[in-house]
Amino acid sequence: MKKKWIWIAPLAILAMALFVFLGGELVLHLWNWLLPPLFGWRQITFWQALGLLALCRILFGGWASHGSPRSNMRRRIKERMDERWERMTPEEREKFRQSWRSRCAGFGPPMLTSCDKLSPAMPSITTLDNLWTGRPHTIASALLESDGHRAIVDPGPGSTLETFQQNLQAHGIGVGDLNAILLTHIHLDHAGATGALVRENPRLAVHVHKNGAPHVIDPSKLLASAQRLWPDDLQRLFGETLPVPAENLRILEGGETLTLGSRKLEVVYTPGHASHHVSYFDQAEGVAFVGDTAGVRIEGISYAMPATPPPDINLEIWDKSFAAILERKPSRLFLTHFGYSDNPSEHILLFRERLHRWAALAAEALRNAASDSAAMDSFMSATFAEISQHLPAGEAEHYAFSAGLNLSFLGLARYLRKRATAAS
């Protein structure tokens, strides 16, 4: 019996060593063959491969039988971890995620310092299509992620709240995971859903210009004027607009720098479309979130047109906002209607020219038409004819719908009359 063991023991050790060696080699070659070319990850050494093998064995078991002392221990550890996770507050969970991200450092690609490729720690900007009234490319929200911080630029109207939430879910995020909402301005198509989002996640910080803040806290005046503009359609177009508690607001004036994770955003006051309009500049990525300051231009189409709803339109002030945007030399504009525009200086030059020409068209219509409604008809048909020269029929109708040509007339008419009264 003893003699037999003399042979078996070294053979068993040799077999185990061979097993470990072959396992390590297999992991090493599979990793180095697949992961660097596919994901840009680093090559690993034999010893790191062995470490990974041991880690997999500890974390996932693999060859331990159920009911063995080891699998029981793993189950107990997992139960304890689940219990701990359940007891954590959302902040503690985020911290825990962060610490694991930093522990991943070392295996990632050489350009990155953590497992950014697998997580939202790397700054990223994602366009969310709110599919307003069921149409794609009409109202865009931007999701800004950086180091576990998540902010939304303009969440859109209450009517698209469900789509907005589904868009977040598609990126593995819930409303409870958001940290901040950045409003460019408080018009319902940009900001209407804010109150509902804060009700769902009371930790949300809502950044808004000081002139817009009172109407976010109490939207009754905003809703009354919207009711006048859309007497039959307010609910269908914009859904429910809930008030936002004052304590959630972070009041802006322009000139601030917001820190969102590792991202810095400069706030610039850009009135003209609305007296409380701000734009947000991401210097690192060169993106300017300009809301409606640069008009309507559907991503991928070069035609840019004005949206000039009442009551704040002011072309002289608007010109200063164009200068403030260009001064910062962004490489891209992000428009709520809709998406990116890649040549900011050309975009603003053409848009400004069109904005002033449309104001001249409105002035001409007011001068020549017998009534305001006749002037509106004449402005709408002239501008729609212009849009149709630049775009195919379906797109022209989409643009006219997105901006609301009737509202653009009302906003310009109000501005022209105010200017005339001021001059007299």
**In the complex, what is the shortest distance from the CB of residue 155 to Zn ion, in angstroms, rounded to a whole number?**
13
Query: Among residues 101 and 273, whose Cβ is nearest to Zn ion?
Result: 273
In whole angstroms, give the CA distance from residue 333 to residue 203.
29
- Draw the binding track, 186-225, toward Zn ion (x: CB under 5 A; -: no contact): ---x------------------------------------
Please identify, using beta-carbon distances, which residue of 149 and 276 lies nearer to Zn ion: 276
- Complex with Zn ion: residue 147 or 189, whichever CB lies closer: 189
Contact (Cβ atoms closer than 8 angstroms) between residue 287 and residue 344:
no
Nearer to Zn ion, 261 or 411 (CB): 411
Stretch that binds Zn ion, among 2-10, 182-190, 257-265, 407-415 (CB under 5 A): 182-190
Minimum Å gap between C-beta 394 and Zn ion is 21
**To the nearest whole angstrom, how small is the minimum distance from the Cβ of residue 309 to Zn ion?**
8
b/e string for 34-66 if b means 16 or more Cβ within 10 A?
ebeeeeebeebeeebbbebbeeeeeeeeeeeee
CB 248 within 8 A of CB 198: yes
For residue 252 the two structure tokens come to: 């802006």
Task: Give least dist CB 187 to Zn ion, A.
Answer: 5
Q: Give every strand in the sheet of 249-252, ordered side by side.
A: 124-129, 140-146, 149-153, 180-182, 205-209, 249-252
Question: Please, what's the largest Cα pairwise distance for the chain?
Answer: 118
Interface with Zn ion: number of residues (CB under 5 A): 2
Taking the least distance from each CB to Zn ion, the nearer of 278 and 375 is: 278
In angstroms, the CA 361 to CA 366 distance is: 9
Q: Is the peptide bond preceding residue 19 cis, with omega within 30 degrees of 0?
A: no
* Separation between Cα atoms, residue 121 and residue 148, nearest integer Å: 5
Stretch that binds Zn ion, among 121-129, 172-180, 181-189, 408-416 (CB under 5 A): 181-189
Taking CB under 5 A as the binding criterion, the range among 72-80, 87-95, 234-242, 291-299 that sits at the site for Zn ion is 291-299
The yes or no reply on residue 292 touching Zn ion (CB under 5 A) is: yes
Using the minimum distance from each CB to Zn ion, give the nearer residue, 179 or 293: 293
Applying CB under 5 A, the residues found at the interface with Zn ion are 189, 292
